[in-house]
Amino acid sequence: MGFKADVSAIPLLLLLAFSIQAQSTVFDVTKYGANEDITEALSLAWKEACASTNPTKILIPKGTYLLGRVTLKGECKAPIELQVEGTLKAPIDPSSLGDSWVTFAYIDRLTLSGGGTFDGQGQVAWSMNNCGKNKNCMQLPISLRFNFITNGIVQGVTSLNSKNFHINVMGCKNLTFQHLTVTAPGDSRNTDGIHIGSSSEINIVDTNIGTGDDCVSIGFGSKQIKVTGVTCGPGHGISVGSLGKYPDEAPVSGIFVRNCTITGSDNGVRIKTWPALFGGIASDMHFEDIIMNNVRNPIIIDQTYCPWNQCNLQAPSRVRITNVSFKNIRGTSATPEAVHISCSSGIPCEIVELCDIDLAYNGTDGPAKSLCTNVKPILTGKLNPLGC
């Protein structure tokens, strides 16, 4: 299935770019009039650095700074790095930020590094998230947006207590996230760790994610996405979807999740599509070498996904799911139903493989079991629970 490459290897182009950036001109935001609030200083430093024809580095030194809404935009004339060593704090009131806090857009050869922290200060905002009941709910800001970035790397930083998604990736190509820490309490609503949409060649490597929603979520139009060495929990697991909510969604393909550990989450590895609404295709998705520790739904395909019970469950999902494998997934399930593959009655899943599954349930409701509907899975290797 083409998943033998070392996904932790940074592409050669990035290595060349980073070796050049080692000799970068440094722009220190404290030289631009920065004090407690660095919003204007960062914008000025970025403008000057982006215009340089030589590789540049913008430095935010150690310390704690306030940062308002900012858009760091290309097209820059040379490789550019933002090295965040300090802690950046978002405004507590979400109304001052709109739909995003920090946005990187239209940049080729971007690096975000430094070991610093983006503190979204989301505690107040979480109580405002009532979108499940109110269609006109307040739009809460995403902490870090990456829009149309090519050939980039984000490494070693922390995203803390985002008001909404921690990281949103849209329209990007050849972008690697590695050695990140993404954290918010398990009861923080809609705080997805890393959400990917309409992007290709995205790598998430050796990263720790614990949130109140999906650790990683992969939306429509995503291709060649590799997730490896991720520890997830609390949260809702590593998910493809939800799909089929909007018309004309681009296909999802080439999803590879490997060597991850998921602990105490609501789901493990999951594919989810809405019933009744719109069509789409999700194919070539592979989950391998995963450890589950007390996960409620370790392996799940859910084509009746309807989080707020506002769907027509009588009409089947129109999303076609094909060529999916779950291999060498082991550990413990917090519920007796360790494997749940619920496919569309209108378009049953095709080519779904279960291989070497060993998931134990130690509760009082009997041994672990599997439930499958509208699918005839391919069963190989050791299977506990027995395949359905």
Q: Give residue-wise pLDDT tens across range 47-70.
A: 999 999 999 999 999 999 999 999
User: Once rounded to an integer, what is the mean pLDDT over residues 336-353?
Assistant: 97
In three-state secondary structure terms, 53 is coil
The structure's pTM equals 0.94
Residues paired with 232 in a beta bridge: 209, 262
The set of catalytic residues is 236
**Each residue of 281-311: b (16+ CB within 10 Å) or e?**
bbbbbbbbbbbbbbbbbbbbbbbbbeeeeeb
| AA letter at 132 | G
Question: Which pLDDT score, from 0 to 100, does residue 119 have?
Answer: 98
Q: Is the pLDDT of residue 343 over 60?
A: yes
Pairwise CA distance, residues 368 & 388, whole Å:
12
| Tens of pLDDT, residues 138-196 | 789 999 999 999 999 999 999 999 999 999 999 999 999 999 999 999 999 999 999 99
Question: Which pLDDT score, from 0 to 100, does residue 313 have?
Answer: 78
Mean pLDDT of the chain: 93
* DSSP assignments along 245-310, one per residue: SSTTPPPEEEEEEEEEEEES-SEEEEEEE-SSS-EEEEEEEEEEEEEEEEESEEEEEETT--TTS-
- Between 87 and 14, whose confidence is greater? 87
What band does 8 get if pLDDT is binned at 50, 70 and 90? very low
Helix (H) or strand (E) holding 254: strand 252-263
- Confirm if 66 and 95 have CB atoms less than 8 A apart: no
User: Once rounded to an integer, what is the mean pLDDT over residues 40-45?
Assistant: 97
Q: How many CB atoms lie within 10 A of CB 138?
A: 12
- Confirm if 55 and 86 have CB atoms less than 8 A apart: no
Question: Which pLDDT score, from 0 to 100, does residue 17 have?
Answer: 47
What band does 244 get if pLDDT is binned at 50, 70 and 90? very high
- Confirm if 307 and 336 have CB atoms less than 8 A apart: no
Question: Which pLDDT score, from 0 to 100, does residue 37 have?
Answer: 96
Domains and CATH numbers, the chain: 10-129+140-161 (2.160.20.10), 214-388 (2.160.20.10)
What band does 307 get if pLDDT is binned at 50, 70 and 90? confident
What band does 12 get if pLDDT is binned at 50, 70 and 90? very low
